[in-house]
Amino acid sequence: MIRFTHASKRYTSGFDALQDVSFHMPAGQMAFLTGHSGAGKSTLLKLIALLERSSRGQVFVNGQNLGKIPRWRIPYFRRNIGIIFQDHQLLFDRTVFDNVALPLIIAGYPQREIGRRVRAALDKVGLLGKEKVYPITLSGGEQQRVGIARAVVNKPPLLLADEPTGNLDPELSREIMTIFEEFSQVGVTVLVATHDIALIETLPYRVLALKNGKLHYDSDPSEET
Amino acid sequence: MNSKTTSSRPERHLTTGLRVYLLRHLQVFFYSLGQLSRSPFATLMTAAVIGIALALPTGLHLMLKNARQLSGGWDGATQISLFLKRTVQEEQARRLANQIRNLPGVAGVRFISRREALNEFRRLSGFGDALTALEDNPLPSVLVIQPTLAASDPGKTGRLLQRLRQYPAVDIAQLDMQWVKRLYAIMNIVQRGVLVLAILLGIAVLLVIGNTIRLAIQNRRAEIVVMKLIGGTDGFIRRPFLYTGFWYGVFGGMIAYLLVTLSVSILAGPIEKLAGLYQHHFRLTGLDAEATLLLLLIGILLGLGGSWLAVGRHLREIEPA
């Protein structure tokens, strides 16, 4: 599902955020991406979501070479990736329902379908019944779950999460991880960037560790890269 | 049966797709109107600026149109009046008229005898009683000469005038309606001026709307970032801003219409009174349906254009990071 071949990212400032990173993540796998802040976790996720382009080497997602996707195709490409952010990136002037419905509206789903799918996504994250409230009235954990519902509402095959439990206490973090595990079990590829070592050590998933922009440790290097 | 269902399916899919697309447009159409109505004062201010900018050239255009209507009665080409010497007899004058009629460049000659001239003068001038007090008819006979269309440019009429002056029976040869030509020339210049002004003010409207939309884009930066993150195309993100520009154009056009109509109704009374003093029936015409529609259309186009410029420039700058 995701393949990096000698991918590097140098920002225009001259800073090397990623250097010669190669790995392969098969479809349906769940993995953690760890490392200190500044190690390149966010940059790696940005390369996958085409928020940045690699300066050298190649990145493939779902068999597509991202270097060959023109700018105007990027929105359509991103519709196949659910992205979850540490700061949720919710729109606070819209209800929970409208926030979650946004990817479907953008993709042009019919109204009836939208209602059904939004309720299904909210049900999955345990927020059914909060459709009509505004995100500001929710707790941090609940806001994060709205973000997850929005990311999965159009059933993307790939889910990326950047520090999704960054601001949450251990118990809520555990809950969020359980939600990710459930998606993984139905075949979604899940890549979670986190520095919460204590949490991921309790879970049986692959760990990719970055250090100073290089792939420093891979618990489960799968076949060729 | 089987092939029938497979062929009808994509078709049905296409029509639902189209319906959803149109529904979305309709939603954004009213959503952007709702956004504007949340800050009615700011919206009104912007719309008023646009309205005034549109009203100015529209009003001037209307003035020109009225002036042209007023002078429309004198639209005949140049005429030459030959005032004959008072000693010339009517018989002699008629012979001269026939002679001139055969000259090249002359389309027609009208003979006004001294008696006819007197009657006409009596009728039009209001000095009827004073004239009857005169023993002798003071007016000469007149030949009114209409040059052919081909000969009515200033050079050719000038030469014709020279030639007519040489007849011994002619006292004065006068080129009439020269001033109408001058008036037309002046109006043409004014028209150009109005056009230049309209273009400049149109650009001003474009910039005002562009700047307003630019601020709106900056206010909704976070929303645009989220849209881009979850796969919103540029077209999708652009749409609400374009509709906002559209509404500004509509409101601006409506305000311009109201301003012009109000000005016309304020001026109509005094102008009618003035025309009355000249014993002239004249009504100031306002904006007709066609002009109103054109005004609204120009407003809308400028609104869309301004927001398009702003969105094109600023949407690219906002990228999720």
CB contact under 8 A, A76 and B231: yes
| B212/B208 Cα distance (integer angstroms) | 6
Average pLDDT score over residue span B257-264: 94
CB contact under 8 A, A102 and B226: yes
Average pLDDT score over residue span B292-307: 94
B127 and B255 part of one domain: no
B211 and B113 part of one domain: no
Put simply, whether B8 touches A (Cβ < 8 Å) is no
B61 and B155 part of one domain: no
Put simply, whether A73 touches B (Cβ < 8 Å) is no
User: Which residues, other chains included, contact A38 with Cβ-Cβ below 8 Å and sequence gap of 6+?
Assistant: none
Query: Is B206 within the bounds of a domain?
Result: yes
- Smallest CA-to-CA distance from A163 within A213, A215, A200, A206 is with A200
Assigned token pair, B267: 């001026």
Average pLDDT score over residue span A1-29: 91
Q: Residue B5 has what pLDDT?
A: 39
Put simply, whether B230 touches A (Cβ < 8 Å) is yes
Q: Residue B73 has what pLDDT?
A: 53
Task: Write out pLDDT tens, residues B159-188.
Answer: 888 888 888 888 888 777 666 677 778 888
| A176/A170 Cα distance (integer angstroms) | 10
Among B147, B176, B205, which residue terminates a domain? B176
| B287/B182 Cα distance (integer angstroms) | 27
Among B134, B156, B176, which residue terminates a domain? B176
The CATH number of whichever domain residue B126 belongs to comes to 3.30.70.3040
Residue range(s) defining the domain that contains residue B231: 26-73+182-314
Q: Which residues of A touch B223 (CB under 8 A)?
A: 91
Query: Is B320 within the bounds of a domain?
Result: no
Integer angstrom CA distances of residue A105 from A81, A110, A146, B21: 16, 8, 16, 10
* Interface residue of B26, B230, B233, B234 to substitute, partner A, most A CBs within 10 Å: B230
B307 and B160 part of one domain: no
Q: Residue B128 has what pLDDT?
A: 67
Q: Residue B4 has what pLDDT?
A: 40
The answer to whether the beta carbons of residues B139 and B114 sit under 8 Å apart is yes
Task: Write out pLDDT tens, residues A179-201.
Answer: 999 999 999 999 999 988 888 88
CB contact under 8 A, B319 and A51: yes
User: Between B151 and A219, whose confidence is greater?
Assistant: A219
CB contact under 8 A, A106 and B226: no
Put simply, whether B231 touches A (Cβ < 8 Å) is yes
Q: How confident is the model at residue A24 (pLDDT cuts 50, 70, 90)?
A: very high
Query: Is B8 within the bounds of a domain?
Result: no
B45 and B158 part of one domain: no
Q: Residue A81 has what pLDDT?
A: 94
- Smallest CA-to-CA distance from B51 within B205, B261, B245, B263 is with B205
Number of domains composing chain B: 2
Among B176, B195, B216, which residue terminates a domain? B176
B48 and B187 part of one domain: yes
CB contact under 8 A, B230 and A78: yes
Query: Is B150 within the bounds of a domain?
Result: yes
CB contact under 8 A, A51 and B230: no
| B319/A223 Cα distance (integer angstroms) | 36
Q: Which residues of A touch B228 (CB under 8 A)?
A: 75
- Smallest CA-to-CA distance from A99 within A51, A137, A73, A71 is with A137
Integer angstrom CA distances of residue A51 from A75, A162, B231, B234: 11, 13, 11, 15
Highest mean pLDDT among A149-153, A173-177, B72-76: A149-153
Out of B24, B223, B228, the one facing A91 most closely (by C-beta) is B223
Out of A75, A89, A91, the one facing B231 most closely (by C-beta) is A75
User: Which residues, other chains included, contact B234 with Cβ-Cβ below 8 Å and sequence gap of 6+?
Assistant: A72, A75, B315
Query: Is B131 within the bounds of a domain?
Result: yes
Put simply, whether A27 touches B (Cβ < 8 Å) is no
Q: What are the phi and psi torsion angles at B315 (to 5°)?
A: -70, -35
B46 and B141 part of one domain: no
Lowest-confidence pick of A127-131, B4-8, B48-52, B152-156: B4-8
Query: Is B87 within the bounds of a domain?
Result: yes
B161 and B216 part of one domain: no
Side chain identity at residue B267, one-letter code:
L
Lowest-confidence pick of B44-58, B148-162, B221-235: B148-162
Q: What angle do CA B28, A116, A119 make, to 5 degrees?
A: 95
Out of B17, B233, B321, the one facing A75 most closely (by C-beta) is B233
B196 and B303 part of one domain: yes
Q: Residue B68 has what pLDDT?
A: 77
Q: Residue B178 has what pLDDT?
A: 66
CB contact under 8 A, A91 and B20: no
B115 and B264 part of one domain: no
Query: Is B89 within the bounds of a domain?
Result: yes
Structural domains of chain A, ranges and CATH numbers in brackets: 2-218 (3.40.50.300)
Q: Residue ranges of the alpha helices (H) in chain B?
A: 2-38, 40-71, 90-101, 114-125, 128-132, 154-165, 178-219, 221-229, 234-277, 289-314
The answer to whether the beta carbons of residues B295 and B257 sit under 8 Å apart is yes
Query: Is B293 within the bounds of a domain?
Result: yes
Chain A: closest CA distance from residue B19 (Å)? 9
Q: Residue B28 has what pLDDT?
A: 86
B38 and B128 part of one domain: no
- Smallest CA-to-CA distance from A45 within B222, B321, B234 is with B321
ipTM of the complex: 0.87
B221 and B278 part of one domain: yes
CB contact under 8 A, B20 and A110: yes
Q: Residue B166 has what pLDDT?
A: 84
